Amino acid sequence: MAAGRGGGWQGVAVALLLLAALTPAGAASAAALPVVINTWAFRTAAETAWRVLESGGSELDAVEKGCSQCEIDQCDGSVGYGGSPDESGETTLDAMIMDGNTMEVGAVADLRRVKNAIGVARKVIEYTKHTLLVGESASLFAVRMGFPYEDLTTQKSLSLYSEWLNQNCQPNYWKNVVPDSSKSCGPYKRREEVTYREEHTSSQRSVHNHD
Amino acid sequence: TIGMVVIGVSGTVASGTSTNGAIHKLPGRVGDSPIAGAGSYADSTAGGAAATGDGDIMMRFLPSYQAVEYMRMGTDPTVACQKVISRIQKYAPKFFGAIICANTTGSYGAACNKIPGFTQFHFMVSSPLLSRPTEQVVDCI
């Protein structure tokens, strides 16, 4: 009841709120949109995403095409085919895309032999009720969605793999195994005595080796 | 890895990532990139964020989700990014990582963890206030 009889000050407050919404600050915010922001200095990805928005594409389209451009460009060697070979020498891809209106997510992980990972992730949103597909099954899904099987290996990735083998598989991500993973290649077996020590070092990660 | 956040004129938010992961990883290893809330997160009622770096560490903290939640509470995007990095620093002071954040009004920011060899983080921004996609740099904390 008292709230209903709020008197003049609530009315003034409402008027001030409405006024605030019309201030230059509000206008400035509107002028700041749309915005595209991406990690690292991947210019062609940014340009592609911006162009998609300018041509009337959706925000999801912009994200998909922008990141797809990076996959094509093999940005930094850390995106797309021919980079970051795993211990067996194979390049595998991870990607996700998220719609902030519906909170839907499409993602693929450990995707093999398909180049356009974020394109496949988009198809997870569009054609399934799932969120994340992984491994060979994700690749099979991709083929069903019309993506071609392609070899993700390049001379560059082969070279990176060969160098790593020649350096006794250093660095690697094993611990508590025999033979000593800091000196030798595998195959490794678990060491009986496990050391619960997390080394929060970043020696293996760099601007060219990152998620 | 690329992480991207796009916010449309109506405030609609979308985000995404794509990567080939860590070099010489164990077969089957998956990092933060395809994990919602870790690699990226988008919520049109608040904003979006995307992370990059050591996914094995970062994915444990859901940094993108956390940054969006900070922005939902009204935190400036730059500060939201910094708070996320600080949370990880407490457990992994030497981790390699960075994050970008943007809210639904078009404000944006970034932050990274300062370690030897990584003292600045470069990212790209496109908006009507910039004549073209522009490279920006932030000093790591």
The whole-number average pLDDT for the span A97-109 is: 98
CB contact under 8 A, A98 and B40: yes
Contacts of A86 (CB under 8 A, 6+ apart): A92, B21, B24, B25, B26, B27, B29
Cross-chain Cβ contact B23/A209 below 8 Å: yes
Mean pLDDT by 10 residues, chain B (141 residues): 98 98 98 98 98 98 98 98 98 97 97 97 96 94 97
Q: Is the pLDDT of residue A161 over 50?
A: yes
Which residues of chain A are within 8 Å of residue B72 when distances are taken between CB atoms?
none
Query: Residue A85 corresponds to which tokens in the numbers above?
Result: 């070979």
What are the tens digits of pLDDT across the range A44-78?
Answer: 999 999 999 999 999 999 999 999 999 999 999 99
**The predicted structure's pLDDT at residue A205:** 77
Evaluate if residue A144 carries a pLDDT over 50.
yes
* Burial classification of residue B132, based on how many CB atoms lie within 10 Å of its CB (0-12 exposed, 13-18 middle, 19 or more buried): exposed
Is the pLDDT at A202 greater than 60? The verdict is no
Q: d(Cα B15, Cα B6) in Å, to the nearest integer? A: 6
pLDDT at A201: 52
CA dihedral B4, B43, A107, A77 (to 10 degrees): 10
Count chain A–chain B contacts defined by CB atoms under 8 A.
314
pLDDT category at A203 given cuts 50, 70, 90 is low
Percent of chain A with pLDDT over 90: 76
Which chain B residue shows the shortest CA-CA distance from A108? B34
Q: Is the peptide bond before A34 cis (omega within 30 degrees of 0)?
A: yes
Quick: pLDDT tens for A6-52.
334 344 334 434 443 443 333 335 569 999 999 999 999 999 999 99
- Shortest Cα distance from B89 to chain A (angstroms)? 10
Rounded Cα gap, residues A199 and A43, in angstroms: 34
Q: Is the pLDDT of residue A172 over 90?
A: yes
Complex-level ipTM: 0.98
